Structure 1
Amino acid sequence: MFLTGSFIVFLVFFSNVALGAFADSAFLGDVGEMLVLFFATVLFVVAILKKEAVRRKDDG
């Protein structure tokens, strides 16, 4: 769930960057881009930590 959310939020970031580079019509500003990328990173880290917790529980 968190990994999928991270992927979706990163696609929003990537779409904004691509639109800004190719069509000059980005829909987020600098601060918005930073917050979206930060949120994607937080979701990714949460997903990885949950996966590690499950793996550690299965190993021991």
Structure 2
Amino acid sequence: MFLFAAAAVFTLFFANVALGAFGGGGFLSDVGEMLVLFAASVLFVAAILKREADHKNKNGS
């Protein structure tokens, strides 16, 4: 779930950057871009930590 959310938020960030690069003007401000990228990073880290915890509990270590 966290990984899907991270991918969705990163897609939003990528779409904004792509629109800005091709002259369409992005829909997020600089601060908005930073917050969206930060949210994607936090969600990705949460997904990785959850997966490691699940793996650890599965193996009984």
The TM-score by the shorter chain falls in which range?
Answer: over 0.9
Aligned residue number for residue 22 of structure 2: 22
TM-score, structure 1 length as denominator?
0.95
Partners of 1:43 and 1:29 lie apart in 2 by 21
Aligned residue number for residue 43 of structure 2: 43
Partners of 2:40 and 2:22 lie apart in 1 by 23
Gap regions ≥5 residues in structure 1: none
RMSD of the alignment, in Å?
A: 0.7
The sequence identity of aligned pairs, in percent, is: 62
Gap regions ≥5 residues in structure 2: none
Q: Which amino acid aligns with 2:59?
A: D
**Structure 1 residue runs of 4+, over 4 Å off?**
none
Q: Give the aligned length.
A: 60
TM-score, structure 2 length as denominator?
0.94
